[in-house]
Amino acid sequence: MNFKEGEVLYFDKPLRWTSFALVNKIRYHISRKLKVKKIKVGHAGTLDPLATGVMIICTGKATKRIEEFQYHTKEYIATIQLGATTPSYDLEKEIDATYPTEHITREMVEETLKTFIGTIEQIPPAFSACKVDGKRAYEMARSGDEVTLKPKTLVIDEIELLECDLTKMEIKIRVVCSKGTYIRALARDIGEALHSGAHLTGLIRTRVGEIKLEDCMKVDDFESWLEQQEIEITNE
């Protein structure tokens, strides 16, 4: 292994970790192993703290491949609570409104999900890393400023209803989609399309391109895995 020449590593991002924290942890262990003060490490596609799953991390010269990985199709398993919304469209913020759900049936959910397949327009969440006049949207939203984001065109290849528990008003879906898709925003839009409200309560990224969750390493195993690798040191 040569981390300066470039390696591509696959991790299962832990719950409540930011993508940035994961990168920092990996950089710390590699720097220590190589006995260097700094090494380039970056990730290919942010996951929210409340999401888990596939995260591709590139080191050294392989950081040039980040954009290539970002354009790969992604697959998610999302758990959505119907009948209530939050300002962040997930559990980061408290419920701010509740909506009727008595009219919702499994058939209605299945028919509604079909309408999201193909090329769609999606307004990103205000609590997101999108930029408005050079500022991050989430910084403005957390300061109480009004955030107006423009719709983005993206592609949903597949949506499958995995579970539909109408006693709890909770559904679980599998989504295959393009770069730039916010599953939180999809949850919001599904709620609206059902003439109700909805927010995301769980999210796992199960695939990026050909990389599946089972190909990924747990962060806690990285240090011991690193000890077992033959490391090439490049003198610059």
- Residues with a known catalytic role: 48
Residue 21, C-beta contacts closer than 8 angstroms, at least 6 positions apart: none
Residue 137 backbone phi and psi in degrees, to 5: -60, -40
Task: In whole angstroms, give the CA distance from residue 46 to residue 53.
Answer: 11
Which stretch of DSSP H or E encloses residue 184? helix 183-193
Task: In whole angstroms, give the CA distance from residue 22 to residue 92.
Answer: 19
Pairing verdict, β 198-208 and 135-136:
unpaired
